[in-house]
């Protein structure tokens, strides 16, 4: 940490001694309680799912409450003792097991995973345990592959199902260590490694090593969706016709997910990052040590924990989302403050709620104002269009935002509060640094350029590799051209056939156990819809396509008949 940041942290600690006129280490007064409760008022009802909240300061829960219902059918309210499936918050506990075993010398983070998982396909590159922990393995994501193969959300997916899919993977997304792409498969494999190293399940290992010593008596990894757990919440989604619908994951696998816990238990886990009660100094240090790319650049992802800042204060956090469950734990280590929100409704955003609560406790803060106004609107308009990164297959739609439109959270504003001219990236208004440089709210910087008739931008963000996106020249295809792509295509990796047909303006792609999906032309031989399809040509015409999602790239399909 720089001397300036160290000074700022000390300043913030001093400024934090009182909140809304009361000691921050004591219970919130009535005025502050009303402000906290107002954040959750939308769900504080007897006919709605909702949230469980805990605010932790200096090792003590200074405020906790349930909002809404744990079970609508039996009229059971949410309390701080209600159990929630916390989805990807599970990952930090799987990583903790691995870090503990590494410190004990029972494995090394630099070990090739084939030492413990010999059924790993030969990808031509070594994948280490550290690659799995930091999402730099290059493996395809298990949920992407299952969905593409025709599995539905309410299908029971076991650890063996995930492993069988993993063993069929044909290639990596990228060379291990070169990039960060969030990957659930890696954490399922970490759970398998724990079992093979210790001889006991991940569930039993973390229970004996972490949960019992910390008094986390209501926390358990769940490997059987039929198991009865006392005080477990039900989870819900809202249908198009505004009905509550039950939305509970039926996973029979864990490591990447499937932890059940309470806000009270997570507060105990959170405090261990200060007391070092379990694991000691070396363990806690290992948990917050970020990964490093092959080029030496540090990530902002540690062991199931994301490192960042909010309102100028350092943060450590992770969120989770499965079916109708949502969760987030947000820690401010320099202030010994954490906010934990667990929810049982799919459209709740606990990450946002944690920040709204945190603002009530953080010192007043003003971001440095370095945003400019657009000087040449015609020049900025030329950046509008569709872009794709040919490496990651990431796509961004840039839309020109005229002056006096609605102001964005981080966009340039005029004196009366309306937005100045600028650009929107996938619907988010960017801040203007110059007519060719724009800033995303998360700190990412977009730098545009023109050369040789090509327009592109470079995206630079902390903890990520620089990415270059090329502007796509969209094409309009008639019925005859679209019919050229029609046929039956087979993926050896997924073990399924996709049927492609065409109408007057779109391709229709029928995957197993699903309705046909619509795809529109994006560029030559490229089509976008729920995923990206890039068709491959040979001497006889179209011979196959490569399918890419956000977490799985270039899955091959061969055309087997017209």
Q: Choose among 446, 51, 453, 435: nearest CA to 262.
A: 51
Which pLDDT score is estimated for 419? Answer: 52
Q: Which long-range contacts (CB under 8 A, 24 or more apart) does 152-161 make?
A: 152/513, 153/249, 153/323, 154/250, 155/250, 156/225, 156/250, 156/251, 156/252, 157/250, 157/251, 157/252, 157/253, 158/252, 158/253, 159/188, 159/191, 159/192, 159/223, 159/252, 159/253, 159/254, 161/253
Spatial CB neighbours of 58, under 8 Å, sequence gap ≥ 6: 25, 336
Are 481 and 462 in contact by the 8 Å Cβ rule? The answer is: no
Residue numbers of the chain with a pLDDT score lower than 70:
1-25, 366-371, 404-420, 442
How far apart CA 420 and CA 418 sit, in angstroms, is 7
Alpha-carbon distance of 446 to 426, in angstroms, equals 13
Q: Which residues contact 104 (CB under 8 A, 6 or more apart)?
A: none
Q: How far apart are CA 558 and CA 278, in angstroms?
A: 52
Question: Where are the extended beta strands (E) located within 257-366?
Answer: 259-261, 306-310, 313-322, 325-332, 337-343
Instruction: Name the token pair of 164.
Output: 């069988």
Do 377-471 and 479-561 come out as alike in CATH topology? yes
Q: What is the pLDDT of residue 543?
A: 97
How does DSSP classify residue 402?
A: -
Contact 150, 135 (CB under 8 A): no
CB contact set of 59 (below 8 Å; sequence gap of 6+):
271, 274, 275, 336
Please say whether the structural domain 377-471 has been given the CATH code 1.10.3470.
Answer: no
Fold of 85-359: Beta-lactamase (3.40.710)
Tell me the pLDDT tens digit for each residue of 442-485: 679 999 999 988 999 999 998 998 999 999 988 899 999 999 99
Domain boundaries, the chain: 85-359, 377-471, 479-561
Looking at residue 474, its pLDDT comes to 87
Residue 407's pLDDT is: 45
Task: Please tell me the class of the 479-561 domain.
Answer: mainly beta
150 contacts: CB under 8 Å, gap ≥ 6:
496, 511, 512, 513, 514
Alpha-carbon torsion 228, 229, 233, 239, what sign? negative
pLDDT digits (tens, 9 = 90+) for 200-218: 999 999 999 999 999 999 9
pLDDT tens by residue, 381-410: 999 999 999 999 999 999 999 986 554 433
Return the pLDDT at 374. Answer: 87
* pLDDT score of 9: 43
Q: How far apart are CA 33 and CA 437, in angstroms?
A: 42
The pLDDT value given to residue 531: 96
Distances (CA, A) of 161 to 146, 158, 173, 466, 523: 9, 5, 21, 35, 36
Specify burial of residue 176 (Cβ count, 10 A radius: 0-12, 13-18, 19+).
buried
Q: Which residue has the tokens 């931008």?
A: 457
| Helices within 454-547 (DSSP H only) | 479-483
In the structure encoding, which two tokens stand for residue 326, read together? 């949502």
């Amino acid at each position: 940490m720089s001397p300036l940041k160290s000074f700022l942290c000390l300043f913030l600690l001093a400024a934090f001694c009182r909140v809304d006129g009361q000691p921050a280490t004591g219970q919130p007064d009535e005025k502050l309680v009303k402000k906290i409760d107002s954040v959750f008022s939308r769900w504080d009802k007897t006919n709605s799912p909702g949230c469980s909240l805990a605010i932790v300061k200096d090792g003590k829960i200074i405020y906790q409450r349930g909002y809404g219902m744990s079970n609508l059918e039996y009229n059971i309210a949410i309390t701080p003792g209600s159990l929630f499936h916390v989805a990807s918050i599970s990952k930090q506990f799987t990583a903790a097991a691995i870090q503990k075993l590494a410190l004990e010398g029972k494995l090394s983070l630099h070990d090739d995973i084939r030492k413990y998982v010999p059924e790993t396909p030969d990808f031509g590159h070594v994948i280490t345990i550290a690659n799995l922990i930091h999402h730099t393995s290059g493996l395809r994501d298990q949920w992407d592959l299952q969905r593409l193969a025709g599995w539905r959300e309410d299908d029971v997916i076991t650890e063996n199902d995930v492993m069988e899919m993993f063993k069929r993977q044909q290639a990596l997304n990228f060379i291990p260590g070169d990039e960060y792409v969030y990957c659930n498969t890696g954490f399922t494999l970490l759970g398998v490694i724990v079992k093979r190293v210790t001889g006991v399940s991940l569930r039993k290992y973390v229970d004996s090593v972490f949960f019992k010593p910390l008094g986390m008596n209501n926390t358990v990894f769940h490997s059987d969706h039929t198991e009865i757990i006392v005080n477990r919440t039900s989870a819900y989604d809202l249908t198009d016709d505004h009905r509550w619908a039950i939305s509970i994951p039926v996973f029979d696998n864990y490591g990447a997910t499937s932890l059940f816990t309470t806000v009270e238990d997570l507060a105990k886990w959170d405090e261990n990052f200060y007391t070092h009660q379990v694991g000691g100094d070396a363990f806690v240090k290992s948990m917050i040590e970020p990964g490093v790319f092959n080029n030496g650049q540090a990530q902002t992802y540690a062991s199931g924990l994301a490192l960042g800042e909010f309102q100028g204060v350092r943060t450590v956090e992770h969120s989770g989302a499965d079916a109708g469950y949502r969760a987030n734990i947000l820690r401010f280590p320099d202030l010994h403050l954490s906010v934990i929100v667990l929810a049982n409704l799919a459209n709740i955003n606990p990450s946002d709620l944690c920040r709204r609560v945190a603002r009530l406790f953080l010192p007043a803060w003003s971001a440095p104002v370095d945003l400019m106004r657009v000087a040449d609107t015609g020049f900025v308009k030329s950046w509008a269009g569709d872009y794709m990164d040919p490496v990651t297959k990431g796509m961004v739609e840039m839309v020109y935002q005229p002056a006096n439109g609605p102001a964005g959270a981080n966009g340039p504003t005029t004196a009366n509060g309306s937005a100045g001219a600028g650009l929107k990236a996938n619907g988010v208004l960017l801040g203007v640094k110059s007519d060719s440089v724009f800033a995303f709210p998360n700190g990412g910087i977009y730098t545009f350029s023109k050369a040789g008739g090509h327009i592109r931008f470079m995206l630079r963000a902390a903890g990520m590799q620089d990415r270059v996106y090329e502007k796509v020249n969209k094409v309009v295809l008639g019925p005859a051209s679209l019919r050229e792509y029609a046929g039956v295509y087979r993926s050896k990796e997924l073990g399924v056939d996709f049927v492609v047909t065409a109408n007057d303006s779109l391709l229709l792609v029928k995957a197993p156990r699903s309705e046909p999906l619509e795809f529109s032309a994006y560029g030559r031989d490229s089509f976008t819809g729920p995923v990206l399809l890039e068709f491959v040509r040979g001497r006889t015409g179209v011979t196959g396509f490569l399918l890419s999602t956000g977490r799985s790239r270039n899955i091959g399909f061969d055309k087997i008949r017209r």
